Each structure stands twice: as C-alpha cells, then as structure tokens.
Homo-oligomer: A and B are copies of this chain.
C-alpha cells in the first residue's frame, strides 16, 4: 500500500507539543481554586500521566519480543504501574479541596509502583531499548512523586 509522507503526517509538530503543555498549565491556572504552583502541578500531572503510557507501551513491546517468557514479570509490573499512575494523575489533576492524606498516600504508592517497575525494567535494559526508556521514565516519576510529597503545596 502506497502512502505519501504528507498524507500520514497527522501528528502535532514540536511547536504544537509546546502549545499542548502550555495549554495544560493554563487549564490548571484557570481553576477557581487554583493551586499557587500550577506550573509544577501541570508538569507533575503530565509526567505521572505519561508514565502510564510508557508502561502500557513497554508491556506491549515486551509481549512482542521473541523472549516474552523472560519478560512476564516485567509486563505484570508495567501493567500495575500504568494503572496506579493513571489513577494518581487523575486525583492530582483535581484542585478543588483535595484530601491531604489521600494525596500523600497515593503519591507514595505511585512512587512504589514506579520504583518496582523501574527495577525490573533495568534488568532488561541492555537487551531491550523499550525497557531502558521505560526504566528511565519511571525513575524520573519516582522523583516527581517524592518531591511532590515533600512540597505538598504543589498538589494540595
């Protein structure tokens, strides 16, 4: 099947991607009870949310490897991490009177999910580029969660 490059270029350009992120920051800033650190919040939410996509993609890439039988624990932890990150990013995105205990505990479990997933992905990082990238992103996500727990002003 022939397709021209022009025909398939439907994605956003880099410039549009920047607009996307700035747009999310403006969205958080437009909230009637806006957090005083909406830029940090937007970045934290997008980072945790994207982690769910990295993990979903890594699980699927592992599934497509000829050595899938050696990657089943990695897939399992990828799926767990995707689910926990997705829930966490949604709760954080809600700025109207969050419950501080719930937010803090959720950030902690999100950090755990990302750490456990990163540790297993790192074991396959030399063999599989997708595991290396996923581990790297999960490690950054652990940091994002831990800093947000310390500077709770960002999220509650």
Residues on A close to B: CB < 8 A?
1, 3, 7-12, 14, 16-18, 20-21, 23-24, 26-28, 30-33, 37, 39-47, 49-50, 52-54, 56-61, 63-66, 68-69, 72-73, 75-77, 79-80, 82-84, 86-87, 89-91, 93-99, 101-102, 105-106, 108-109, 112-113, 116, 128-130, 133-134, 136-137, 144, 147-148, 151, 153-154
Contact = CB atoms under 8 A, between A and B. Distances in A.
Number of chain copies forming the complex:
4
A8 B153 contact: yes
Question: Closest 7 CB pairs between A and B?
Answer: A11-B43, A10-B147, A11-B40, A87-B87, A30-B129, A30-B130, A64-B96
Contacts of A3: 151, 153
B40 A10 contact: yes
Nearest to A72: B63
9 contacts: A14-B18, A16-B43, A26-B129, A49-B53, A73-B97, A102-B112, A105-B105, A106-B109, A106-B113
